[in-house]
Structure 1
């Protein structure tokens, strides 16, 4: 039956890469999207891409199963690197929550099923709305389509022994923490000054219980600073989106060996 359809092996490889992207890619990988919808969307997207890329005619043999594994790994790796960059927003919220005193009040993120800081979840939801408003999800799909320009469908395997790929992923990991620090430093720095002021008050007025007074003061200052710098934070978020696409392109370029 499969031998009567010579295009089926190439279509299956495209379908595996697209659905692997959807397992890790931001917005498309969330648990609130039913798995049947993901599979259906991946099927029709793979069907469209099959007629727009120059897919070779392949045979189902031992090497073909290596190609299936390679396509799945490509989708998982590139989707993971995109999610890694975007998670800097939640880490920034974690830094802020730790200084505000909200670190113990984590909530369950309905998108991923993991615990998430309160402020980080707020920033992340606003960032997702910002991503949708600037058609960032279209750019992610565009990255899936153009991945075949960097990583051919008939490339036999991924060169995991290439140190450039490991260095690139480590740089992306460190860049994530740098972005998180840049986003959180206005609030964290202001709360550090509040802690210094409360320490001075505690030394000068011993009768005042700074543990009772300090927490509401820090929460109030945090909200004021967040409202004041939310515009600047959204500017940093736009840079995160740009860096996410650049990182995806760079990783695909390294995997393709070009």
Structure 2
């Protein structure tokens, strides 16, 4: 019984970090996945991690409550940094939808339950399938496992007040926005040229109803360009996944005081 209490205390701390990690982590936080199944999966992952990481001697006291709060904040922080990067895909879809004219048609995002751009949801589904094909979900689970090397269970408070953490979040958001622009620029630039051509046509042939003709032309050109640059899109998504793993590792190092 005396050995069970420290193990139980460590298990509850690990469970807190893992479940908080799953709340914001892409793929695992989808609302389409029942909450009960996510809790059971988190409990199984935490149970396995108790026997695979170095568990210190812990007692349930006042300091233990602070450790629970720390574990929840660490799990949320690591998941949020991954979510910020994956949100770049929907930002790219928003850029494209605005130029295509699809901005008036939104669909429900299964992760947040809110409305999202049509092309953004298509890119998001493609990215999730690519992430699964590349075993990216294993790398995400490795992230929460190896986080204990940077932030042990008995470390009372991570370095959230460090200015390097704020700088990392800002640079991550800027890089994610840049990647989103990089994904959308082929279609956006092509549609800009299409708009320019339609404007010249409208001036040259005033009898032509450019609003009726231009809408299907822009949609058709967008899908043709999207088909041509699909290989580039997949390559950028792979770069995005690598950047996500690196950003998670850098955040864990900074929170651990590294």
Q: TM-score normalised to the size of structure 1?
A: 0.97
How is 1:70-149 mapped onto 2 (pairs within 5 angstroms)? 70-149=70-149
SS in 2 for 1:107: strand
What residue in structure 2 maps to residue 230 of structure 1? Answer: 230
Residue 194 (structure 2) pairs with residue 194 (structure 1): yes
Greater Cα shift, 84-93 or 205-214? 205-214
Cα distance per residue 1:15-70 (max 9 Å; x no partner): 10011111011100111111111111111111111111111011111111000000
How many angstroms apart in 2 are the aligned matches of 1:5 and 1:168?
38
What residue in structure 2 maps to residue 255 of structure 1? Answer: 255
How many angstroms apart in 2 are the aligned matches of 1:33 and 1:132?
16
Residue 165 (structure 2) pairs with residue 162 (structure 1): no
Cα distance per residue 1:220-254 (max 9 Å; x no partner): 10010001101110000000111100000000010
How many angstroms apart in 2 are the aligned matches of 1:40 and 1:34?
10
How many angstroms apart in 2 are the aligned matches of 1:177 and 1:2?
52
Cα deviation, residue 5, structure 1: 2.1
How many angstroms apart in 2 are the aligned matches of 1:134 and 1:4?
39
8 Å contact kept, 1:2–1:8 = no
Name stretches of at least 5 consecutive residues in structure 2 with no aligned partner: none
Cα distance per residue 1:159-210 (max 9 Å; x no partner): 2321110010011111111010000000000000001111111111111121
Q: Name the Cα RMSD after superposition.
A: 1.3
Cα deviation, residue 9, structure 1: 1.0
Greater Cα shift, 12-21 or 103-112? 103-112
Cα deviation, residue 158, structure 1: 2.4
How many angstroms apart in 2 are the aligned matches of 1:48 and 1:161?
32
How many angstroms apart in 1 are the aligned matches of 2:219 and 2:164?
44
8 Å contact kept, 2:183–2:233 = yes
Cα distance per residue 1:91-128 (max 9 Å; x no partner): 10110000000001011123321111111111111111
SS in 2 for 1:7: helix
Name stretches of at least 5 consecutive residues in structure 1 with no aligned partner: none
